[in-house]
Amino acid sequence: MNRFCRAGAFITVLLLLAVWGCAWGAPFEGPMAELEERRRTTAAMMEAATVWVVVEEKDIISNGSGFLVADGCVMTNAHVVNKVRRGGKIYVLNESIPMREAAIVDMVLDDPGRGIGMKDFALLRFTPPKGVKLPTLSFNLEVKRMDMVSAWGYPAMVTRLDRSTRPIVRDGDTRGLTPAPVVYTEGTVSTIVNNGFGSTIIHSANVTGGNSGGPLVNSRGEVVGINTWRYMEQNEGASLNLSIMANDVVAFLRSSGIEPRISAEQSRKAGSGKGQKSEDRRRNVGRFSVTVPEGWSVTDEEKDMIFLNTNGKAILVGIISAPSKGASLSLLADVYAEEFGAEPFLDGKMYRFNYTDKNGTDTMAFINDGGNDTHILVFISGDPTEPGVMEILDSLERN
């Protein structure tokens, strides 16, 4: 039996949905297509904003990663570039930036004996190519356990396989160097630790040698940390991926004369997590707002959509508003039926769908007329009786 039929909250969910509505300018094809398109847009931004940092110091060539924080300015780790103090050159490049020589503007590298939490920052400056508009990444100072994150950079174990590294490997020569492909890995925040010198993000987005200095970002491509270490415990056969938190990076940039971009959400709301007041955990969704329960995290968010999950993707709740473009609710139901691969059931003034998503998870979805030529889609992927689901639905209200 489909587990949604066992949901004691089923009727309550229907009643709640009957009074919801807001407005969103998403493509008519449906929210999943829109989400996939936005992921591609974020990926394109990250590919243009993440740079390969190549250091030539005498007969030794090393490499790391970095990311754009201002026009012609790259943030990276100090340990990636500090050897050039003895003479040498630094180059930055990616698919949008042909090889450019860079100079160190400012650098902070604490005593290595401090271990994780130490300050390990360098700001580089280069001359951007003419006629090329390069993105500058924003920072989000809010990160907590179970947040979805991704690491972007140039791990040596991948870049050495690409044609771009042949001159380095064969001849130790950086002339004619072409950009290596940027590498993306995905994971979740495991915890945040503090050893007295600073806070460090421990996460499951895999990083290796060469990732140092690259950005750790949330689903919107906002920087929440800078990838700095990979800790290996040989006796245990275990490893940890470690990133310095964005607030320390922002403090360094400001001390270096750079005012970094802060996400609009972060400018509006500071802080989150355990012990936070419910009103501080509110998220706006168009003309509505919703509360993120304790233990839940925001996996994706725009002004007219939000995706929440818990238990490492075990349950996903999405709330999306979209334009009706003059279509009736029954016609919209037919459009969603094709997208979901499920027949709609008319229940009062709304349509309901039960289907299995591409990951094999039972999903319950509803569409309802939101007024003003809009409609609202709410879906629950996973068990709707999971703690927190009804709290989310109960908290949805008009601003």
DSSP string of 110-158?
--GGG-TT--EEEEEE--PPTT-------B-----TT-EEEEEE--HHH
128 and 71 Cβ atoms separated by less than 8 Å? yes
213 and 76 Cβ atoms separated by less than 8 Å? yes
Q: Quote the pLDDT of residue 271.
A: 42
Q: Would you call 255 helix, strand, or coil by DSSP?
A: helix
Q: Quote the pLDDT of residue 279.
A: 44
Residue 364: partners with Cβ closer than 8 Å, 6 or more residues away? 4, 7, 13, 352, 353, 354, 379, 380, 384
**Comparison of pLDDT for 393 and 327, the residue scoring more:** 327
298 and 284 Cβ atoms separated by less than 8 Å? no
Residues in the chain: 399
Residue 230 C-beta-side C-alpha neighbours within 13 Å: 16
- The arithmetic mean of pLDDT across residues 187-203, rounded, is 85
d(CA 50, CA 217): 11
- The arithmetic mean of pLDDT across residues 85-94, rounded, is 85
C-alpha distances out from residue 128 to 63, 65, 70, 96, 341, Å: 20, 17, 11, 10, 48
Residue 243's pLDDT band (cuts 50, 70, 90):
very high
**Mean pLDDT over each residue of the chain, to the nearest integer:** 79
Q: Quote the pLDDT of residue 268.
A: 47
Q: Quote the pLDDT of residue 270.
A: 42
Best-predicted range by mean pLDDT (84-88, 289-293, 371-375):
289-293
Q: Quote the pLDDT of residue 278.
A: 42
Q: Quote the pLDDT of residue 56.
A: 87
Q: Quote the pLDDT of residue 205.
A: 95
Q: Quote the pLDDT of residue 234.
A: 65
Range name among 33-47, 240-254, 299-313 with the lowest pLDDT average: 299-313
- The arithmetic mean of pLDDT across residues 54-79, rounded, is 92
d(CA 308, CA 390): 13
**210-236 burial by CB neighbour count: b if 16+ within 10 A, else e?**
bbbbbbbbbbbbbbbbbbbbbeeeeee
* List of domains in the chain: 3-24+286-398 (3.40.1000), 51-255 (2.40.10.120)
- The arithmetic mean of pLDDT across residues 190-212, rounded, is 87
The pLDDT tens digits for 249-276 are: 999 999 999 999 887 555 444 444 444 4
Q: Quote the pLDDT of residue 212.
A: 96
Tell me the β-bridge partners of 288.
Answer: 285, 398
363 and 381 Cβ atoms separated by less than 8 Å? yes
Strand order in the sheet with 345-347: 297-302, 305-310, 315-323, 374-381, 362-371, 350-356, 345-347
Strands 374-381 and 397-398: unpaired
262 and 246 Cβ atoms separated by less than 8 Å? no
Enclosing H/E stretch for 75: strand 73-76
* pLDDT at 356 > cutoff 80: yes
Residue 48's pLDDT band (cuts 50, 70, 90):
very high
Range name among 6-15, 106-115, 281-290, 327-336 with the lowest pLDDT average: 6-15
* pLDDT at 311 > cutoff 80: no
The pLDDT tens digits for 105-114 are: 999 988 665 6
26 and 322 Cβ atoms separated by less than 8 Å? yes
The pLDDT tens digits for 313-348 are: 578 888 887 888 888 888 888 888 888 888 888 877
* pLDDT at 8 > cutoff 50: no
* pLDDT at 281 > cutoff 50: yes
Record the pTM. Answer: 0.64
Residue 144 burial by CB count (10 A; 0-12/13-18/19+): exposed, middle or buried? middle
The pLDDT tens digits for 215-233 are: 999 988 999 999 998 887 6
